[in-house]
Amino acid sequence: MTGQRRKSQRPGEAHRPDATVAAQRRKDRSNAPPPSHGGASTAEHPTPKSLTLTKVLDKVLDRSQYVKGLVDECATDLSSVNDGLEELVTSDRPPAVEAALVKTSVVEEKVQEASDELSIVNKALAHEIDERHLLQRRVKALTEQGVRDRHASLHDGLTGLPNRALFNDRLEIGLAQAKRHGRALAVIFVDLDGFKSINDTHGHEAGDQVLQTVGRRLAEHTRREDTVCRLGGDEFLCVLAEAGEESAIEAVVQKLLVVLRAPIALADIVDEVQVDASVGIALFPRDGDTAVSLIASADRAMYQAKRARSGHAFASRLGCA
Residues designated as active site: 234
Question: Omega into 285 within 30° of 0, i.e. cis?
Answer: yes
CB contact set of 127 (below 8 Å; sequence gap of 6+): none
Residue among 176, 191, 185, 7 nearest 86 (CA): 7
Residue 153 dihedral angles phi and psi, to the nearest 5°: -75, -15
Cβ–Cβ under 8 Å, residues 189 and 237: yes
Strand order across the beta sheet in which 276-284 lies? 227-232, 235-241, 185-193, 276-284, 312-314
Instruction: Identify the helix (H) or strand (E) that includes residue 147.
Output: helix 95-154
Cβ–Cβ under 8 Å, residues 125 and 60: yes
Amino acid residing at 209: Q
Cα(68)–Cα(60) distance, rounded to whole angstroms?
A: 12
Cβ–Cβ under 8 Å, residues 4 and 59: no
Cβ–Cβ under 8 Å, residues 277 and 192: yes
Q: Widest CA span of the chain, in angstroms?
A: 125
Q: How many CA atoms lie within 13 A of 152 on its CB side?
A: 6
